[in-house]
Amino acid sequence: MNTIVSIDASSAERLEVVRSADRLAAIESDWMHLWHRTDGLIFQSHAWISAWWSTVADRDQRALRIGLVWNGDRLVAVVPLTIGKRKGLRFLEWAASSYTDYGDILVAPECSLSALQDVWAQICDAGGFDIAFLNHLLPGAAVRKIFTPDTSGGIRLRPNHREEVSYRVAGQWESGAAWFAEQSKKTRQNYRRGVKTLEEAGKIKFRLLAPDEPLQPVLDRLSALKRRWLVERKRESQLFEEGAPVLAALVDALARAGVLRIFVLECDGAMVAVSINFVQHHTMMAFVTTFDPDFSQASPGMILMMDYIQWSIDHGLGTVDFLCGAESFKHKFATQGVVLQSVLGARTAQGSIASLADRMRQRVRHVRGRGPVPTS
């Protein structure tokens, strides 16, 4: 059941908390209008959230909690949250959090701060969770308005020790070739050596997939390669499970938004590296990248990355953003890094105990020199 309340009789603003798939579908047009109006990232679009919700494997273990603020008949804010279960606890978190590199809300300039805080309070008061945990927060994230010290209602969210770094390639280059020329001699030699190794196996080609090319063969190939990579490292991901629909749904959301860019490196027509990217805010963003381990000696993933960085510069993009994750290959090319913060607040006694235990573990790690000083 969805909840709708007025803030007060004199205000045109009203609040709503979306809990059902039917209501989520019904607000698509209003949500997308707000998304376009606020120039939001794809992660906060209706297409992204609904693609995830319609395909997530454990939906019966989750609950929608999407806060809305309406000004008359115009949607002016979206707070896209869900409740999920992990390690015996119920978490209030970003909708599609596993696949959302930058978490945030959508808010129009005319939306009042009090309305944002009130919809947050309404979500918290409804309960159903032990801990609220919002992560992947950029320094300028709009959601920070909700958990300012003067927040009057809802759970108080405090900085948490969990942080990630988003690495980017940003600078002024006349061309992709000029960027390449600035790389170290060793990096340039490794690139050329990798290209030569691939050429010994067959004709190689770097290209951007055409908009009308079928996507499923590419996604099947990428998923198969990712599964091999995960098995070797004894890891799992629902995104790449055979037959799982979520990757195709998310990529379709990118395609329908007109931001999808898929780059492939081929050897004799076979894909030896794939990168699913998208372009927003004058930035090339790398969502998923993989390569064929049978060609690892040639480092096809590195070759593809250097090729699409040069392509991006040649096409006037000012930044290449590798999104979340501090993998060494990202740091190697990055010219800047942005720290993504997280906030946490407990609602129940069980949540408070778990939060306290987590802080104690962090203090022990800090004493041993293994981690940062806990901040919550």
Give the model confidence (pLDDT) of 56-114 as tens digits: 988 989 999 999 999 999 999 999 999 999 989 999 999 999 999 999 999 999 999 99
Give the DSSP per-residue string, 286-337: EEEEEE-GGGGGG-HHHHHHHHHHHHHHHTT--EEE--S---HHHHHH-SEE
Q: Which helix (H) or strand (E) holds 161?
A: strand 158-170
Phi, psi of 206 (to 5 degrees): -100, 135
Structure tokens at 204: 């190689």
The residue ranking higher by pLDDT, 154 or 294, is: 294
Mean pLDDT within 298-321: 96
pLDDT of 125 over the 60 cut: yes
pLDDT of 369 over the 80 cut: no
pLDDT at 3: 60
Q: Confirm if 258 and 279 have CB atoms less than 8 A apart.
A: no
Q: How far is CA 215 from CA 88, 127, 238, 363, in A?
A: 38, 41, 19, 47
Neighbour count for residue 327 (Cβ, 10 Å):
11
Closest CA to 19 of 54, 62, 55: 62
Which region among 48-52, 142-146, 361-365 has the lowest average model confidence (pLDDT)?
361-365
pLDDT at 230: 87
Domains of the chain: 3-163+340-367 (3.40.630), 172-317 (3.40.630.30)
